[in-house]
């Protein structure tokens, strides 16, 4: 199976011009059951998040929580409270 390659985003969309489009006040997200960073980030970003946005964000979550997750991003344990990273500055 070929790797996921996102399509180039539309430059006319406000969220692709650096304007905030989502704002969540949550400081932490608790891992529940068999979830991945991808699914946690997708849920956090909301239903209109694109695969491209999720693919960009989950590594940030991993790095921000490496002390809680460890080096392997697929080793999430139920009950772990992950910190929500601050919005990116691109």
- List all residues 6 or more positions away from 2 whose beta carbon is below 8 Å from its beta carbon: none
Q: Which residue has the higher pLDDT, 87 or 56?
A: 56
- The string of pLDDT tens digits covering residues 8-55 is 666 565 555 555 555 455 688 889 888 899 999 999 999 899 999 999
In this structure, are residues 15 and 68 in contact, taking their beta carbons and an 8 Å threshold? no
pLDDT digits (tens, 9 = 90+) for 1-21: 677 777 766 656 555 555 555
- Which one has a higher pLDDT value, 79 or 19? 79
Place of tokens 């969540």: 24
pTM of the model as a whole: 0.68
Provide the token pair at 46: 């909301």
The Cα–Cα gap between 38 and 61 comes to: 10
């Amino acid at each position: 199976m070929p790797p996921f390659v996102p399509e180039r985003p539309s430059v006319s969309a406000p969220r692709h011009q650096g304007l905030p489009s989502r704002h969540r006040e949550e400081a932490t997200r608790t891992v529940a059951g068999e979830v991945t960073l991808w699914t946690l980030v997708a849920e956090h970003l909301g239903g209109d998040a694109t695969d491209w946005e999720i693919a960009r964000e989950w590594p940030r979550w991993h790095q921000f929580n490496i002390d809680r997750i460890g080096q392997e991003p697929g080793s999430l344990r139920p009950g772990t409270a992950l910190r929500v990273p601050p919005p990116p500055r691109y």
